[in-house]
Each structure stands twice: as C-alpha cells, then as structure tokens.
Amino acid sequence: MPSAAILKEAQKLCTVSDELNALAEKHPVVSDALLTISGTVRHTATLLEILVVAKLGPLPEPGPADA
C-alpha cells in the first residue's frame, strides 16, 4: 500500500528530527542551525502525512505490528 510506505518515510524523518534536536543540545555552537533544520525536517514529515490523507485517503489504523 503506497500510503504505508510514505508514512514509514515520514516516521524516519521524525526520527532524524529528534536526532538533530539531541545533537543541538550537545553542540551549543551550532544549536540554532540544527534546531532550524530539525524543524524543517519535522514539517516535511507532517506534509508527507497530509499528502497521504489528501491524496490516498485516511491514515491506516496501527496494527499489532506497528505498536
């Protein structure tokens, strides 16, 4: 199902965003830039999720394997 593949990629982007936030805490010299990039990545993930809903239908309900 195409929506599941796109949502999986969106989740990966959320993980990248979280990792960039963690790096920002450890590296104050570049924290502002890392937080900006992290926010952009998170927004991109959100836009992918919206794309799935708008073009491919409602989000699938998480099953036992997704928990």
Q: Could you list the residue range(s) of the whole structural domain that residue 38 is in?
A: 2-57
Within-domain flag for 7? yes
The predicted-structure confidence for 27-59, as pLDDT tens digits, reads as follows 999 999 999 999 999 999 999 999 988 888 766
Within-domain flag for 63? no
Whether residue 18 is predicted with pLDDT greater than 80 in this model: the reply is yes
Residue 59: predicted pLDDT: 60
Residue 46 vs residue 4, higher pLDDT: 46
Within-domain flag for 15? yes
Question: Mean pLDDT across the chain, nearest whole number?
Answer: 88
Q: How far is CA 3 from CA 12, 18, 20, 55, 65, in A?
A: 14, 23, 26, 9, 16
Q: What angle do CA 1, 4, 64 make, to 5 degrees?
A: 110
Whether residue 60 is predicted with pLDDT greater than 90 in this model: the reply is no
